[in-house]
Amino acid sequence: MTMAAPLLTKPSSVAHTAQEVNPLHAQYLQQSPLHFAYEKVLSGERITQQEAVKIYNSHDLLAIGMLADLARKRMTPPELQNHVYWVHNFHINPTNICEASCKFCSFKKGPKSPLAYVMSVDNVLEMVHKYPQNDTLSEFHVVSGLYREQGLEYYETLFKALTREFPHVHIKGMTAVEMKFLADVAGVSTEVVLKTLKDAGLRSLPGGGAEMFSERIRAEVCMDKITATEWLDVHGQAHAMGLSSTATMLAGLGETPEERVEHMVRLREQQDISGGFMTFIPLNCYYDNNKIDSKHALTGIENLKNFAVSRLVLDNIPHIKAFWVHIGEKTSQVGLHFGVDDLDGTVVQEKIAHSAGTETSQHLTQDELRNMIWKAGRVAVERDSLYGIKAIYEPPADTVGYHEAHTFG
């Protein structure tokens, strides 16, 4: 049976005082130029956009990590503070044919490309039936290209079929970009598309398609995509219907730190209004087979800052995820000390980032995920799509890293 995990506890309702903070961290932060953020995290006061930029531009990575870790703990009930979540999920990408032309995309193919593929509903069902662990799956993650031959009717049929054959699996499907495309092709509103797919079995929306909200960057790299405002509106509509969602940010497109922070603040504003975002997922771009200059590639430090600053800014979104496929397994593990509390999942056959050159595995086993978490000194928790707890895994006594972390605090 699944236990519901509290999504968010406001800082004021968690019993922490300055004295409960690791005293060495407290001493360090009090003397740091970022002491203003330390005081705000302790008091639960919101970090402003200007302050977030100042934190982002600081070179004191350790102070930034300490701040984010403190913020994470203060918005999490004490009994959950050591948890790191993952979900047993399965990615389904019904086609790679897409009529948009995002410059960072290496997944999309034209309809005549020898690499183009289209999966029928039966093809998808057959693929999932062949997956040996489909009986313990928690989530289907369905995203695809914008292909008008696969319209609303196709996805309605697909979701009904998945619900019929795998009733235990939550369907997270279709980015806001795809929802708007299906609506335009069908000549209906996005509300009609959301309602139709919800009735067919859709339970939440993935956070893709947000890219970078900056109008300057969108005009450069994805000018035929929906605007940032439209993306936020679709999520607001989904939240109003009781559908949860996640949100992403694709960095490494040539944006500035100010534009990354602006992206986070716009999400915070939407969350204040509609409240349905469960998780924020900072992603980084890869550069094989696409038109973005690799000189924009993020450093490891920038990846860690994206985790930490988003944890500090998004005081109303419960979880920060390191999608190990994009960020890499090692940086994701370090991210657990920079505000991250979620590592996504088993994934199974990731196609989108791998077509752009990420060198991570296409699949992690549950054993591998548990080990990553334990060796970072945390407790591994399998969750469902809505952060209900399915199983808690304490590490074996001889796990290198876990017990040392608890010895030294």
The residue ranges that bind ligand SF4 (CB under 6 A) are 98, 100-102, 105, 107-108, 145-146, 177
Q: Check: CB of residue 389 under 8 Å from CB of residue 383.
A: yes
Least distance (Å) from ligand SF4 to the CB of residue 184?
13
Nearer to ligand SF4, 68 or 177 (CB): 177
Q: Check: CB of residue 222 under 8 Å from CB of residue 192.
A: no
Q: Let me know how many helices (H) and strands (E) the chain has, helices first.
A: 16, 11
Least distance (Å) from ligand SF4 to the CB of residue 141?
14
Least distance (Å) from ligand SF4 to the CB of residue 102?
3
Burial class from Cβ neighbours inside 10 Å (0-12, 13-18, 19+) for residue 359 reads exposed
- 90 has which bridge partners? 140
Nearer to ligand SF4, 106 or 306 (CB): 106
Nearer to ligand SF4, 149 or 404 (CB): 149
C-alpha to C-alpha distances, 35 to 29, 63, 136, nearest whole angstrom: 5, 9, 46
Least distance (Å) from ligand SF4 to the CB of residue 138?
25
- 380 has which bridge partners? 84, 393
Count, residues in the chain: 409
Least distance (Å) from ligand SF4 to the CB of residue 99?
7
Q: Check: CB of residue 210 under 8 Å from CB of residue 172.
A: no
Nearer to ligand SF4, 143 or 308 (CB): 143
Q: Do strands 202-205 and 389-393 pair parallel, antiparallel, or not at all (unpaired)?
A: unpaired
Q: Check: CB of residue 395 under 8 Å from CB of residue 374.
A: yes
Nearer to ligand SF4, 207 or 339 (CB): 207
The single residue listed with the structure tokens 């504003």 is: 269
Least distance (Å) from ligand SF4 to the CB of residue 287?
14
Write the Ramachandran bin of 145: left for phi over 0, alpha for psi from -120 to 50, otherwise beta: beta
Nearer to ligand SF4, 146 or 369 (CB): 146
Nearer to ligand SF4, 303 or 355 (CB): 355
Least distance (Å) from ligand SF4 to the CB of residue 100?
4
- 393 has which bridge partners? 380
